[in-house]
């Protein structure tokens, strides 16, 4: 048996769902030393069996998301035979939803589903967001579902990305000390603009780490406390001039948590656009 503690994730598609659930649960066990092995496109008993045998050899736990009832049963029986602890993340949910909806599941892995209107909407949103990153296309502010504004290192780009993956067209704009915001920002629907802020000391820490990562002097003005404070003060002035913008403090928050807070803040405006956002939270 291996000295490492392994968690084997088996999926009939990309494995993203199971991996995210496992990683979220593992946050409750910091420094556990457990390692994930993600096995994707596992769709037959011949593919699953050697993975289960390896899990048994390594004393691993198996977490799986498989929609085929036959393959789920095979994994369940084989894990019992091999004395492997196995957790089915999706099977019981599919069963309960089938009863609740009084419909039979189609039992197709997500990667084999027909391409839907929702899929193409998300692709378009991601493309829009990439083009609108870092204030590159101010004319897109009017077209965006959400516009994020904040000083450098307030998570504008990763937040834009995660929101775009939910089908939202997102633009973002860095607030730079001494540089006025473009007129296109004032022309955009103000209810769709969100300010991002962060605690001073945390931002200094993040920027110094970034400078070090880039091989630049950590005493560059970008990471100096006085400079960072001026930038944050400048951003606050802009936020005060626009009381209709919700302002979110990203300090110590996971990107996913901040994204949900942004959507909840915008939903509070109650217009048709927010109604669509509401369905995504």
Query: What is the 3-state secondary structure of 96-115?
Result: HHHHHHCCCCCCCCHHHCCC
Phi (first) and psi of residue 66, to 5 degrees: -135, 130
* Nearest CA-CA partner of 150 in 250, 227, 256: 250
Percent of the residues in the chain that have a pLDDT greater than 70, as a whole number = 91
User: Domain for residue 264, yes or no?
Assistant: yes
pTM, full prediction = 0.68
- 48-96 per-position pLDDT tens digit: 999 999 999 999 999 999 989 999 999 999 999 999 999 999 888 888 8
Q: Average pLDDT in the 166-174 region?
A: 95
Domain-terminating residue out of 112, 145, 172: 112
User: Domain for residue 121, yes or no?
Assistant: yes
pLDDT of residue 96: 82
Q: Average pLDDT in the 184-197 region?
A: 96
pLDDT of residue 120: 80
Q: Are 147 and 262 in contact (CB under 8 A)?
A: no
User: Domain for residue 1, yes or no?
Assistant: no
- Residue ranges making up the domain that contains 58: 6-112
Relative orientation angle of helices 117-131 and 156-164, to the nearest 10 degrees: 160
User: Domain for residue 260, yes or no?
Assistant: yes
- Measured distance CA(258)–CA(246) in Å, rounded: 12
Q: Comparing 37 with 120, which gets the higher pLDDT?
A: 37
- pLDDT category at 3 given cuts 50, 70, 90 is low
Q: Are 107 and 43 in contact (CB under 8 A)?
A: no
pLDDT of residue 219: 84
- pLDDT category at 176 given cuts 50, 70, 90 is very high
Average model confidence (pLDDT) across the chain: 90
Q: Are residues 260 and 146 in the same domain?
A: yes
Q: Are 48 and 75 in contact (CB under 8 A)?
A: yes
CATH, residue 45: 3.40.50.2300
Q: Are residues 89 and 185 in the same domain?
A: no
pLDDT of residue 107: 78
- 107-146 per-position pLDDT tens digit: 777 665 565 677 788 889 999 999 999 999 999 999 999 9
Q: Are residues 145 and 25 in the same domain?
A: no
User: Domain for residue 186, yes or no?
Assistant: yes
pLDDT of residue 20: 86
pLDDT of residue 127: 95
> β-strands 61-65, 35-39: how paired?
unpaired
Tokens read off for 14: 């990309």
End-to-end CA distance of the chain: 43
Q: Comparing 99 with 160, which gets the higher pLDDT?
A: 160
Q: Are residues 106 and 143 in the same domain?
A: no
Q: Are residues 151 and 253 in the same domain?
A: yes
pLDDT of residue 16: 86
Q: Average pLDDT in the 22-38 region?
A: 90
Q: Are residues 24 and 92 in the same domain?
A: yes
Q: How many CB atoms lie within 10 A of CB 139?
A: 12
pLDDT of residue 165: 87
Whole-angstrom CA distances from 263 to 106, 121, 259 are 31, 18, 6
User: Domain for residue 131, yes or no?
Assistant: yes
Domain-terminating residue out of 93, 112, 131: 112
Q: Are residues 21 and 76 in the same domain?
A: yes
pLDDT of residue 236: 97
- 207-257 per-position pLDDT tens digit: 999 999 999 998 899 999 999 999 999 999 999 999 999 999 999 998 989
């Amino acid at each position: 048996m291996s000295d490492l503690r392994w968690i084997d994730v088996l999926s009939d598609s990309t494995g993203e769902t199971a991996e995210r659930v496992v990683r979220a649960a593992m946050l409750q066990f910091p420094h556990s030393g457990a390692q994930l092995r993600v096995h994707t496109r596992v769709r037959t008993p011949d593919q699953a069996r050697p993975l289960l045998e390896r899990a048994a050899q390594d004393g691993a736990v198996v977490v799986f998301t498989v929609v085929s009832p036959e393959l789920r049963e095979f994994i369940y029986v084989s894990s019992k035979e091999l004395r492997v602890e196995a957790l089915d993340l999706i099977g019981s949910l599919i069963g309960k939803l089938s009863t609740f909806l009084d419909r039979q599941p189609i039992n197709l892995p997500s990667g084999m589903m027909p391409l839907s209107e929702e899929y193409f909407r998300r692709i378009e949103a991601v493309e829009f967001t990439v083009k609108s990153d870092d204030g590159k296309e101010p004319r897109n502010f009017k077209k965006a579902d959400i516009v994020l504004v904040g000083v450098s290192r307030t998570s504008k780009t990763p937040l834009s990305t995660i929101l775009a993956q939910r089908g939202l067209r997102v633009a973002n704009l860095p607030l730079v000390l001494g540089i006025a915001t473009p007129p296109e920002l004032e022309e955009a629907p103000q209810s769709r603009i969100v300010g991002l802020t962060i605690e001073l000391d945390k931002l200094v820490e993040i920027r110094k780490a970034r400078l070090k990562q880039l091989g630049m002097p950590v005493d560059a003005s970008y990471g100096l406390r006085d400079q960072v404070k001026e930038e944050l003060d400048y951003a606050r002035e802009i936020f005060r001039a626009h009381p209709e913008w919700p302002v979110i403090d990203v300090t110590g928050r996971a990107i996913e948590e901040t994204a949900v807070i942004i959507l909840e803040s915008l939903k509070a405006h109650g217009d048709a656009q927010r109604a669509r956002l509401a369905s995504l939270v």
